[in-house]
Amino acid sequence: MEPNTATYRRTVRRNTNSNPSLGTRPHNNVISVVLPLGDEKSRIKVSLDKLSYLKAGWDGLEALPIAKKVIANVSHLLATSDDQDWKGWAIEPNINGTVILRSNSRTSCVSLGVDSFSFFIKKGKDVEGQDEVCFTSEAVLSVMRSVNKLTE
C-alpha cells in the first residue's frame, strides 16, 4: 500500500466519522423532526416554539415579538386540552405580540392575549363573538370545542 493512499484513507475516515461542532453543519444536512401522525398538540407545540423566537419587526415592519405571557398561556392551554381539541386549528402570530388560533375552515378565530382573549364564530350569515374575555384555559377550550362541534 502506498503511503499516500493510507494517509488518504485515514483522513477520509476521520473526516466522515467526526461530528462537526454545533453551528457548522451545512443546511442541507438538517435533521428533520418526526412527529407521530395525528398528534395535533405536538403540531401546535412545534408552531408555538417557532413563534417564541420571533423578534421585533418579524413582519418586516414594526410587529412586536410574541409576549412571554402569551406563550405561557398557550402552553397552559396545550397542557389542559385533549389532542382532538386542536384538530382543525392553526396558530399564527399577530403583529401586536399576541397569537391567533384560526380554524382551518376559516369560520372561527380566537385571539389570545396576556390577560384576555377575543373570539368570533361565523354561523351562516351571522357572526357571534366577544371581546376582552378573561383568559382561562377552560373558557378558551369551551369556545374551541363549540367550533369543533359545528364543523363535525
Percentage, residues of the chain above pLDDT 90: 58
Whether the predicted pLDDT of 108 surpasses 80: yes
**Contacting residues for 65 by C-beta, under 8 A, at least 6 apart:** 54, 55, 56, 58, 97
CA distance 116 to 62: 23
Going from N- to C-terminal start, the domains of the chain cover 36-151
Quote the pTM value.
0.71
